[in-house]
Amino acid sequence: MSRLRRPVDSSDWIKGPPDAPVTLVEYADFECPYCGSAYGELARVERVAGERLRFVFRHFPLTQMHPYAMVAAEAAEAAGAQGAFWQMHDRLFENQDDLEPEALVSHARALGLDEDRFVRDLQEHRFVARIKRDFMDGVRSGVNGTPTMFINGQRWNGSFEAADLLSAIAGQIGAEGDFPSVG
């Protein structure tokens, strides 16, 4: 079982309390249909686990299979530079069939971002180095597909269905049976 090589730090996109007993790191690709399915499951996990979970997103664009994966990751980062990473993250997963550059600008507009700055960031590829860093950190941690998740630094090889993830989280904090069923 592989371990997460780069610990979570302040450069990561993080939701949840820093002192949560469980940290779940996801390496994902915004165009990957499996990541799109995992997105809904992870939202359920976050709702149920609440303050007991810190969720971290890292980029792993599979550009050979998904032609818009890199530009979508860049769009998320450009939105993040304007304080809207998670809003763009959600929008990209909820609109996976609409990731062409023109659509990304439309998403930015819908989020009320500074459109000129957003477009400039995309044209200048301002965040490619950060995305590549996430990707290479993933490779060093044994990531070879998406979604790949790590729970408290250990690779999770189970399903990404909410019930299974919650069971793993409960096992980490000794709270078996403490989470309500997920519907």
d(CA 16, CA 24): 10
d(CA 120, CA 118): 5
Number of domains composing the chain: 1
Residue 142 is assigned to a structural domain of this protein: yes
Q: Output the six-digit token pair for 30.
A: 């915004």
Per-residue pLDDT of 109-150, as tens digits, reads 999 999 999 999 999 999 999 999 999 999 999 999 999 999
| CATH label of the domain that carries residue 116 | 3.40.30.10
Residue ranges making up the domain that contains 77 = 13-173
Per-residue pLDDT of 43-57, as tens digits, reads 999 999 999 999 999
Residue 29 is assigned to a structural domain of this protein: yes
Residue 182 is assigned to a structural domain of this protein: no
The letter for the amino acid at 139 is V
d(CA 62, CA 59): 9
The average confidence (pLDDT) of the chain is: 94
Residue whose entry in the numeric block shows the structure tokens 């359920």: 44
Are 71 and 122 within 8 A, CB to CB? yes
